[in-house]
Structure 1
């Protein structure tokens, strides 16, 4: 039994029901990220990137893409997959403080907040604020609200499977997940949840101008937020 969420993501997991689910998940996120890139000279950080199978597509839209993941196994896979791509750099969370302050144009943290304590997340918000340029954008996505249960996630997966051609595998995958250690791990470690107002308050407390936005990925009932570091004021 994994002792932490980092340990869980550092192994094969039952989250993806088959290769098509995995590939379509990452292709969809890459499409969303490309739409957020402010320009070809931009520098991006995908925090909690996971396997990022389509990160090369995002890299073609910007000057530099940092892929950051806490799981060593995931980082090793990213390094093998994108080692020949000069615009992609793979980082551990411990590497982030060494990045230049005010050097990032966009940070995306998709499906991250639920795996962190409130204190860990607050620390990351302060770090991200320091690393963004004035006017830079933080997207916090796939946030789980308090009233959203596993049934809603299951229905979202089935809808995704229907649209993308893996419905039968999605049904089988839900059964495998139910029989795996994931439900007990979710009960033991818990998931941190935020409602709309609480997340907005946390983002604003960290110095961002924040507002809700549509979620990234397939699960539209989860929450997402656009948080911008205020632009530097011109001298009077």
Structure 2
């Protein structure tokens, strides 16, 4: 039996209904992240990057791209695929200390907060704040509000699938997911959920000046995204 979310993401799973879904997801996300990069020499961290199939697009928009994921299997695949690509560094979460403090221009953490405990999120916020340079930004995206249920997620997926040309596969995929260990793990471990006020309070307590973004990253606009900048000491 899968014991943790890290273990779940470290093996094959049914989250993406087919290769087209996976490719469309990562291509769309990379396009959005690339637009967040402030300048061509920027240092960027994508924390919780997953397979990052279109990481090259983000790397082309910045000076250095750090890809961080907790799953060893995912990191190994990234390192093999991106070997020899200048400006891309693959890291485990425990290796983030290799990034010099106050050097990052942008941190993106998409679809990560829901898989972290409150203590783990607090620890991440502390690390991100330390690594961001003055004026650097954190974008914390795909945060699940308490009132968003699985049915709303399914509707968002089906709309994305209709647009992307994989609606039939998505319908079958939803049926598979209902019978998979993802659903059982979601019931057993849960997903962390936050109201807008709760997440803003957490960001404020961690030393950030934050606001909710008008749009979430990715296809599910029922979820939330926040943009934050580290406050100056004493502010």
Give the TM-score taking structure 2 as reference length. Answer: 0.97
Partner of 1:206: 206
2:126 and 2:231 mapped to 1: Cα distance? 14
Match of 1:139 in 2: 139
Deviations 1:106-141 (A, max 9, x none): 000000000000111011101110000011000000
1:1-236 map, 5 Å: 1-213=1-213, 214-230=215-231
By how many angstroms is 1:50 displaced?
Answer: 0.1
SS in 2 for 1:60: helix
CA drift of 1:231 comes to: 5.7
After TM superposition, what 4+ stretches of structure 1 lie above 4 angstroms from structure 2?
none
Is the Cα contact below 8 Å between 1:135 and 1:232 reproduced in 2?
A: no
* TM-score (normalizing by structure 1): 0.97
**Unmatched tracts of structure 2, length 5 or more:** none
Paired residues in the alignment total 233
Q: Tell me if the contact between 1:17 and 1:173 (Cα under 8 Å) persists in the aligned partners.
A: yes
Which string of whole-angstrom CA distances, capped at 9 and with x for unpartnered residues, describes residues 177-204 of structure 1?
Answer: 1111111110111111001000000001
Partner Cα separation in structure 2 for residue 232 and residue 43 of structure 1: 22
Structure 1: 5+ residue runs without aligned partners? none
CA-based RMSD: 1.1
